[in-house]
Structure 1
Amino acid sequence: MEYRRLGASGLSVSEISYGNWLTHPDGAECVQAALDAGITTFHTAAAWDGGAAEENLAEALSHARRDDLVLCTGVFWPEGPGANDAGLSRKHLVTSVNGSLRRLRTDYIDVYQLLRFDYRTPLEETFLALSDLVRQGKILYAGTAEWTAEQLLEARPIAERHGVPLVANQPHYSMLWRVAEAQVMPVCERSGIGQFASVPLAQGVLTGKYRPGEIPPGSRGAKAVETRPLLLPDLLERVGMLRGVADEAGLTMAQLALAWTLQHNTVASVVMGASTAAQVTENAKAAGVVLDLDALTRIDHLLGSFVQTDPRLTWSPPATT
């Protein structure tokens, strides 16, 4: 495993992070495989599976030395039926972080992430609450996820004024989804904010397991609505051609996709999920891989117009009152 600094901070994170968005029977084995591979950075969120994701991660990490870990959890999505059970209000941040600390069995969270922009709450309120949490020692660093360049530019001086170390952003970023490159990544680079790149395998499409007209029963592509737009026969045919690039580099398709994401200089770590320990072990080998210019050029040529680059596709929930 290789390690990188997160933005302009002094915090080191593993190039490959493990995220447990989906809880499953093999979760503990996956976490152990991650630890065995040298992965130190783990992502979860308070709202995932009603809090069970945090609890399961804590149980799987219970034998690990806490100081060796970088625990990342986040807030925004609904955690209950109440009017104050979602968003980035001071009330919700305080109640949510205390719940996360309890479920994760820890005294502090390394990177506390604001998982979407909250149009209903003033940024001053959010970052003043984060400042209090930093001073209390409950969080060490703050981050965002799927924020636009404009939102980050607005937040940065407020974070500085309140003494909140805003050092991370978590965009969706992959060979196929490059919408963060045009605006978000340059703003982050100037602001000392590093990237936790998420969805690097494009919902599994970039692993090559989906072929035109052949969607395996029980797979994510067969069940998840958000995956279906990526299952176009022409796109799957192009993705299949990447196998030659992977073979020449001595990589699996998944390793190639993860390694590609790590080539961007603002990416500190790429967040992967897995359903088996074997997947974790294999995918972790993407760390430290350097793709040559020929491989990068061939990838761009093969994927062509299927690559999404429009920065307007950075997604936040609609502004509501």
Structure 2
Amino acid sequence: MINTNGIVVLLKMIMGESMEYRRLGSSGLSVPVLSLGTGTFGGRGKLFEAWGNTDVAGARALIDISIDHGVNLFDTADVYSFGAAEEILGAAIKGRRDDVLLSTKAGLPTGDGPSEAGTSRSRLITAVDGALRRLQTDRIDLFQLHAYDAATPIVEVLSTLDELVRAGKIRYVGVSNFSGWQLMKSVGLADTYGFPRYVSHQVYYSLAGRGYEWELMPLGLAEGIGAMVWSPLGWGRLTGRIRRGSGLPAGSRLHTTADAGPPVDDERLYRIIEVLDEISAETGRAIPQIAINWLLGRPTVSSVIVGARDADQLRQNLGAVGWRLTDEQVARLDAVSATDAPYPYFAYQRQQGFARLNPAPV
């Protein structure tokens, strides 16, 4: 896949350093295995201020590096820095819209008013129009519901998305942070009424958090829904800066954001990091690169969303592609990061009869 920076990408392909592309679920859309998240753009509000405060010039530099490495998918959301992330992304890609894929999300509250949360028909139409305006574009390549809205009938959501697709405002639809029954019911109703199917599920998945595997991964395999992974470094815990007995390093965003992210047992985290340290010594790769590379080998994963505060961090994350962990290294990471499955999945993990009927995804 060649864009306006095609010569650079072609040279990297010749040199064996090209970006890999995969289908997004069972759709016809090809996406890079790494995509750039924009949570660091803007820096407005307590949570996003801790993530980063990249401005338009900084965003443009990160996007230049991404495109040079074959990354053409950029993910954002209306709640990121109260819309500033979308505005900065839109300004940073000005003049090269046809070279990139834009993914954004809506559904989480953006204010206290009754019409400022959820995925009702009114809210979705307003949210998409607002995103188009902030992104300075006429279409969104992938529009994802940021959360399930229990107050709005699923058919209302699906029919509205169908209208937005037919209007050309969005091209593909997906979800984020859905439970298994919420996603499966939505897919079933989409099939029943002929509405567009969800092709992606943006999920938390990492060596430090493998809950995605129990229900959502088999569902993704069965229904052709590709995973777009957020927080692949376990909410900043797998950067290589945390060690047993040392506490959180100075400047870590976990000092202010730990309570907002997925919980991780400290002892289990330390064991994972110790194995990552061993494999880092064996491969010469940085710990974040190993953690991301492990994810790229997991079933259903279409793209891993990486973030970066600066060019050096981005380049390091981009170094997660172009090589593979050995089967033995993968097995060690699998073993040290394994957790007991919740009911009813523990039976598939522990009992031979259940496991025979429900083999692990490959």
TM-score (norm 1): 0.90
1:317 is matched with none
Residues 106-115 or 29-38, more deviating? 29-38
Distance 1:308 1:108 in 2: 43
Shift of 1:14: 0.6
Distance 2:107 2:202 in 1: 14
Distance 1:40 1:229 in 2: 31
Match 1:146 to one of 169, 177, 180: 177
1:248 is matched with 282
1:109 is matched with 140
2:117 is matched with 86
Match 1:174 to one of 198, 201, 206: 206
1:243-292 alpha-carbon deviations (Å, 9 max, x no partner):
11123233210110111111013100001111111111121121243222
Between the two proteins, the alignment pairs up a number of residues equal to: 309
| SS across alignment from 2:124 | helix
Counterpart check, 1:10 vs 2:31? no
Q: After superposition, where does 1:159-308 map in structure 2 within 5 Å? A: 159-160=190-191, 161-211=193-243, 212-226=245-259, 229-230=263-264, 232=266, 235-236=269-270, 238-304=272-338, 307=339
- Over 3 Å counting, the alpha-carbon distance change for 1:61 and 1:293 in structure 2 is same
Query: Unpaired runs of 5+ in structure 2?
Result: 1-18, 42-52, 345-362
- Over 3 Å counting, the alpha-carbon distance change for 1:32 and 1:166 in structure 2 is same
Do the aligned partners of 1:131 and 1:162 also contact (CA within 8 Å) in 2?
no
- Over 3 Å counting, the alpha-carbon distance change for 1:239 and 1:141 in structure 2 is same
Distance 2:235 2:112 in 1: 29
Distance 1:179 1:238 in 2: 16
1:297 is matched by which residue type in structure 2?
A: A
- Over 3 Å counting, the alpha-carbon distance change for 1:78 and 1:308 in structure 2 is farther
Shift of 1:142: 0.5
Shift of 1:309: 5.0
- Over 3 Å counting, the alpha-carbon distance change for 1:149 and 1:228 in structure 2 is closer
1:48 is matched with 80
Distance 1:292 1:189 in 2: 24
- Over 3 Å counting, the alpha-carbon distance change for 1:132 and 1:308 in structure 2 is farther
1:22 is matched with 40
1:220 is matched by which residue type in structure 2?
A: R
Query: Unpaired runs of 5+ in structure 1?
Result: 313-321
2:46 is matched with none
| SS across alignment from 2:70 | coil
Shift of 1:149: 1.4
- Over 3 Å counting, the alpha-carbon distance change for 1:202 and 1:311 in structure 2 is farther
1:109 is matched by which residue type in structure 2?
A: I
Do the aligned partners of 2:76 and 2:85 also contact (CA within 8 Å) in 1?
yes
Distance 2:23 2:185 in 1: 24
Match 1:39 to one of 67, 71, 82: 71
1:15 is matched by which residue type in structure 2?
A: V
Shift of 1:229: 4.5
TM-score (norm 2): 0.80
Kindly indicate whether structure 1 or structure 2 has the higher relative contact order, using CA contacts under 8 Å at least 6 residues apart: 1
Distance 1:80 1:115 in 2: 15
Distance 2:146 2:159 in 1: 17
Shift of 1:32: 2.4
- Over 3 Å counting, the alpha-carbon distance change for 1:266 and 1:22 in structure 2 is same
1:315 is matched with none
Q: Which has the larger radius of gyration?
A: 2
Shift of 1:98: 0.1
Q: CA RMSD in A?
A: 2.0
